[in-house]
Amino acid sequence: MSASSAALSDAEVERRVSALLRQMTLEEKTGQLTQIFYKFIPDSATPEERIRKGEAGSYLFVTDPAEVNRLQRVAVEQSRLHIPLLMGFDVIHGFRTIFPVPLALAASWDPVLVEQVQTIAAREAHAAGIRWTFAPMVDIARDPRWGRMVEGAGEDPFLGAASARAQVRGFQGPYIGSPEHVLACVKHFAGYGAADGGRDYDSSYIPDVSLWNTYLPPFHAAVQAGVGSVMSAYMDLNDVPATGNRFLLQDVLRQSWGFRGFVVSDAFAIRDLTTHGFARDEQDAAYRALTAGIDMDMGAKSYLSNLALLVRQGRIPEAAIDNAVRPVLAAKIRLGLFEHPYVDVSRAQQILNAPEHREFARIAARRSAVLLRNQGALLPLSKNIASLAVIGPLADSQKDLQGSWSFAGDPSEVVTVLQGIRNKLPPGVSVAYAKGVEIRRRYPSMFDALQNVSPAPAPTAAEIEEQFDKAVSVARRSDLAVLVLGEHEDMSGEGASRTSLDLPGDQERLLKAVVATGKPVVLVLINGRPLDLSWAAEHVPAILEAWYPGTQGGNAIADLLFGDASPGGKLPVTWPRSAGQIPIYYAHNRTQQPETSPEFTSRYWDLPSTPLYPFGYGLSYTQFAFSNLQLRQNRVKAGERLEVSVNVENTGNRAGDEVAQLYIHQQSGSASRPVRQLKGFQRITLAPGEKKTLRFMLGQEELSYWSPQEKKWVEEPADFDLWIGPDSTATLHATFAIIP
């Protein structure tokens, strides 16, 4: 039975792997451990030459189904052992259909939605011949200056673990080789999101207690969900590069967690062990990476050039090469590549253009948006207004709504906010548009440089002022203004860290000028991180965080603005008032003078130490009440489970979604514990006046932590606080105890 119809047994896979290994030369084995960039990075040999000689086990960035077939034909029909290629691509938040970025998907607080999104992404990628995605990224990020925050699930390990599990299930399906699914690759292992100063690629210094309790849980969740591959990180972790870190790759990943898939380096990370000052030369780098636990070399060809020589020198036994090749071959076998290496090109086009995929992208964008402010119930807007101004540099930008890592998407298919609003309103409504200002990065994006993309010429000072004045005039002549502000898609992502959280360019001046007209203003944010909204939070009546919403973003935003959908997303990050508060996160420890103390004022003399918006925050067009918090028992023994229930009621006059969030605090133990920790959540839809009783279970997984004193996971006798509510400041409270 082929892998396309059912999961293969471990014994069958091992038999086939061993049979192949017995036939392979040492050079062919190192070829299987080599992944090569297709055209994106110049190569000294053609793909055909490398494939025929067995020097490439995988290629990246081949997205044309016909080209996939051509290269696979070379591998399957012209190489000695006929081993198919494993085609990889960064399918981060969609392939042809672009969904909201991962941070936005986390804001949905809806793992079922996240799984469905990645199921569609996998289906499209699979149709094009891609069998391996470099996702999910599950790095915990508590510094919004770090550009790659946009690719993860935010600051919390519990929410991050839920997102990791959902994405692995979505990409891989019930088993590796499930029809129309792909192999997932959880990244970047581990601690990449804790880079000094939020500077991409910089070193991370993480004590064991934070590593185990905060940064590793989402990776562990992905491994428990059956993820087939892991990607190492670029940075030094506590002075040892992650790509040469035996503690991470052997002690934690393989020995503690029992991971049986394969590990790939991040791009050129093996070669760059020399740049770190860790390896003395490229041969030493290949030695250190392989012996630490890296199975496949992405991009650098360091293994191809050095592993066979290291074996012949006696520094590495050939059995170590075999151990690295085994999981790579096993993945190809499980994916069914030996039986089905080719793509049905005509069917691929049908799947890539499936209208139901676009419609689900609209649903995902609606459910990911977070309503931050709605003074005077300005939203939802009436469709019967006479005139509306749509203003801002991102209001009619197709490419920017996609966000970073959307290389296979077609920007011409993106519905902009301006288009979405025009689609929504009847013909008699006047919708005027003005760009207002230009925004651009100070330095070109790394991807622009690699693809030889030149920025558009900058406008003159006179053109800038003329454009600005036009926007203010358009707002003045209209009944209401929708400003669409934020960051270009290349301002968040890899190589896109920032020193400031200000609205880039002259956007805040534009916002203030439009508000000064006296017209009602709605601010729609397109971005991949929290931004400084201190002024807007006091002066703009309505603020909708839409993130980078994807292909159907404009239609989804219009649905929300005009009440055809109700916002129900919640923040997956704590939203600072200023970059000066960073890092700021809700799950911090108490100090000798906690914020709840009557004497407490602020940790700063010039600013409150509280965030602008707390973790888990988000408004709706209706109101909800939490009541009747019940614990089935208030004393449990270690290892027992505690059932918690609460009533949630829609007390408003519109249907809406609420996310019930459960937090705990351990009052004493072998270590100080965070003031609150998320340990459960449920998103529900309630009609006006409807009430539901929700139930949560707390067990050993939720009540344990890694103790820095005990040097192990513990579930300790202690008293606990418990809260349930709409965000991390929930006030509905109960207590329970774990007893000996």
pLDDT value at residue 42: 82
| Banded pLDDT at 461 (limits 50, 70, 90) | confident
Q: How far is Cα 680 from Cα 690, in angstroms, rounded to an integer?
A: 22
Q: How far is Cα 221 from Cα 621, in angstroms, rounded to an integer?
A: 34
| Banded pLDDT at 452 (limits 50, 70, 90) | low
| pLDDT, tens digit (0-9, with 9 covering 90-100), for 30-39 | 999 999 999 8
Mean pLDDT of 527-542: 98
Mean pLDDT of 649-658: 98
Q: Which two tokens stand for residue 502?
A: 């200000």
Q: How far is Cα 353 from Cα 346, in angstroms, rounded to an integer?
A: 11
Question: Is residue 2's pLDDT more than 50?
Answer: no
**How far is the first Cα of the chain from the last one, in angstroms, to the nearest whole number?**
52
Question: Is residue 63's pLDDT more than 80?
Answer: yes
Beta carbons within 10 angstroms of residue 466's beta carbon: 11
Strands 387-391 and 430-434: parallel
| pLDDT, tens digit (0-9, with 9 covering 90-100), for 237-274 | 999 999 999 999 999 999 999 999 999 999 999 999 99
Q: For the chain, give the longest Cα–Cα distance.
A: 81
pLDDT value at residue 482: 98
Beta carbons within 10 angstroms of residue 643's beta carbon: 13
Least confident of 1-5, 259-263, 615-619: 1-5
- 19 and 193 in contact (C-beta within 8 Å)? no
- Return the exposure string of 412-425: e unless at least 16 CB atoms fall within 10 Å of the residue's CB, then b: ebbbbbbbbbbebb
Question: Is residue 395's pLDDT more than 50?
Answer: yes
Least confident of 177-191, 434-448, 529-543: 434-448
Question: Is residue 5's pLDDT more than 60?
Answer: no
Mean pLDDT of 133-151: 98
pLDDT value at residue 453: 65
For residue 310, give the nearest of 650, 30, 630 by alpha carbon: 30
Strands 236-237 and 297-298: unpaired
Question: Is residue 388's pLDDT more than 90?
Answer: yes
Residue that the structure tokens 């970073």 belong to: 404
Question: Is residue 29's pLDDT more than 50?
Answer: yes
pLDDT value at residue 4: 45
Determine the CATH number of domain 624-739: 2.60.40.10
Rg of the chain over CA atoms, in angstroms? Answer: 26
Question: Is residue 1's pLDDT more than 50?
Answer: no
Domain with residues 358-581, CATH architecture:
3-Layer(aba) Sandwich (3.40)
Catalytic residues: 266
Question: Is residue 323's pLDDT more than 90?
Answer: yes
Q: How far is Cα 308 from Cα 471, in angstroms, rounded to an integer?
A: 64
Q: Please, what is the average pLDDT of the chain?
A: 96
| pLDDT, tens digit (0-9, with 9 covering 90-100), for 684-721 | 999 999 999 999 999 999 999 999 999 999 999 999 99
Question: Is residue 280's pLDDT more than 50?
Answer: yes
| pLDDT, tens digit (0-9, with 9 covering 90-100), for 292-303 | 999 999 999 999
Q: Helices H, strands E: what count in the chain?
A: 23, 26
Query: Domain limits of the chain?
Result: 358-581, 624-739
For residue 418, give the nearest of 391, 439, 399 by alpha carbon: 391
Q: How far is Cα 38 from Cα 569, in angstroms, rounded to an integer?
A: 39
Question: Is residue 399's pLDDT more than 70?
Answer: yes
CA angle 357/358/360 to nearest 5° reads 65
575, 590, 603 from 609: Cα distances, Å:
12, 13, 6
pLDDT value at residue 576: 98
| Banded pLDDT at 450 (limits 50, 70, 90) | low
For residue 126, give the nearest of 159, 161, 170 by alpha carbon: 170
Measured in degrees and rounded to the nearest 5, phi and psi for residue 156 equal -110, 130
pLDDT value at residue 41: 80
Least confident of 150-164, 199-213, 603-617: 603-617
Burial class (CB in 10 A: 0-12, 13-18, 19+), 87: buried
Q: Collapse the DSSP code of 194 into the 3-class scheme (helix H, G, I; strand E, B; otherwise coil) and give the result.
A: helix
pLDDT value at residue 282: 97
